[in-house]
Amino acid sequence: MKKIIFIFLIFFSLVLEAQNANELFSKANNLYKNGEYSKAIELYSSIEKQGLESDVLFFNLGNSYYKLNKVAPSIYYYEKALKINPSNEDALFNLAFAKRMTIDVIEDLPKTFLQRFSANIIQKLSFDTWAIIAVVASFLMALLFLLYYFSTSSKKKLVYFNTTIFTVFILIMSVFFAFNNYKTVKNNRTAIIFVPKVEIKNAPSMNSDEVFELHEGTKVVILDELDNWKKIKIADGKIGWIYADDLKEI
């Protein structure tokens, strides 16, 4: 009996928390519509602090910061929205505008065929979406196999057999894409520079030499970390060390 009551209390608290988050989200949206962007940010951020995440929430936060001409936070939240939902076209569109406010112009290194395929195909959907496709394909495969097994017509058997093979192929590819996407997201740690200007060092020390400098809003890849320093890489391949407080991991 105590376990049932405990489970009920947890469920009830989750429901109340969800309702509270929905109310805050609605209020924040109204504040945004009325041009009160700072107040909207406060409410959106309070939802984020509850541990709740969604691409819509982060997209709205990005929009609010963009309206206030705050480069780094707007890019940061657009990137977070795209991390959850890579196919969010509104976030992609607004991110392109936000990047125009940045100072650094960094040319990407040429990508291999596999890198382009991953970026244009595999990374276009989240690993959760690929996993759902895999589950749907597995159900279709089972259904088509049963139809093939119990069918008495040779023509239908041929059709069911071919479609079963096709769904097996879809299943294998979607599982592979899901794992590949998951591995890429987990291993590819990215961050946004959150200070107006920062010197990138050749070693994790304030006394080390500067190799280049970056400005607010630039996206970097985190390669390693040591104490309060992080080793980063930018799109053109340059590598250096930055003080951890000068950036924010996505």
pLDDT tens-place string over residues 84-135: 888 899 999 999 999 999 998 888 778 788 878 887 888 888 888 899 999 9
Residue 207 and residue 211: Cα distance in Å, rounded? 12
Q: Tell whether 87 and 144 lie within a shared domain.
A: no
Domain end position, chosen among 129, 148, 180: 180
Q: Tell whether 49 and 127 lie within a shared domain.
A: no
19 pLDDT tier (thresholds 50, 70, 90): low
Can you tell me whether residue 165 is helix, strand or coil?
helix
Q: Tell whether 12 and 89 lie within a shared domain.
A: yes
Q: Tell whether 94 and 123 lie within a shared domain.
A: no
Residue 81 and residue 73: Cα distance in Å, rounded? 12
Which domain range does residue 173 map to?
113-180
Can you tell me whether residue 222 is helix, strand or coil?
strand
The CATH number assigned to the domain holding 27 equals 1.25.40.10
pTM confidence score? 0.75
Domain end position, chosen among 180, 201, 228: 180
Q: Tell whether 241 and 175 lie within a shared domain.
A: no
Strand ranges (E), the chain? 190-193, 197-201, 210-215, 219-226, 229-233, 239-243, 247-249
Percent pLDDT > 90 in the chain is 65
